[in-house]
Amino acid sequence: MLYKLVVMGSSQVGKTALTAQLIGNCFIPDYDPTIEDSYRTQLVVDGEPCQLDILDTTGNEEYHALRQEFMRRGQGFLCVYAVDDVKSFVDVNIFRDQLRGIRDTDRVPLVLVANKTDKADCLVTRELGQEAAKSFKVPFVETSAKTGSGVERAFQELVREIRRFSVQELKHCRDAEHDQGCGFKPCKVM
């Protein structure tokens, strides 16, 4: 099955490094601003092989229109912040609010990712990340693109969220269909 994933977050949080670590098991130490790059890879999630179409996006505000487009196209979203950058953590709220506005729903498959956990100068604690994820009602994963820790788990968790979302949507549609019935009022036999 093909999953369209979007990696989003502020500039320099490690979105490209996370994607490169998943795709090629390598770390990219140099910062090179991304506008939009697309990658394909396979990943096994809960015993099932999955084809991932990953869109690595820009965090620059000047590309706001482009950001809206990728928020429309994605099935699921990794919202990434860096533990050594408080502003990137605060910006998670902006990305989430934009996503909810564009999709016109609070229910979007999303995983909150705390990246750069290998750094000694952690400014955003695990507890803050967990609290944010709990308030968003989404999973929380800590990663290090440098060491590879948690990277595969973050993408796997997003695939699981997409699957859960799909099951919930199907159930919601069936319930709505059942509540409406066939459109005819029942007849009474006298």
Nearest to 34 by CA among 21, 6, 54, 15: 15
SS3 151: helix
Q: Note the pTM of the prediction, 2 decimals.
A: 0.84
> Would you give per-residue pLDDT tens digits along the chain (190 residues)?
899 999 999 999 999 999 999 999 888 776 665 545 788 999 999 999 999 999 988 655 655 667 778 888 899 999 999 999 999 999 999 999 999 999 998 889 999 999 999 999 899 999 999 999 999 999 999 999 999 999 999 999 999 999 999 888 777 666 666 556 544 444 444 4
Strands 140-142 and 48-57, bridge-based pairing: unpaired
Nearest to 126 by CA among 100, 150, 147: 150
Q: Which CATH superfamily is domain 2-180 in?
A: P-loop containing nucleotide triphosphate hydrolases (3.40.50.300)
Q: How many residues does the chain have?
A: 190
- Chain centroid offset of residue 30 CA: 24
Amino acid at the residue 78: L
- At residue 185, the pLDDT reads 45
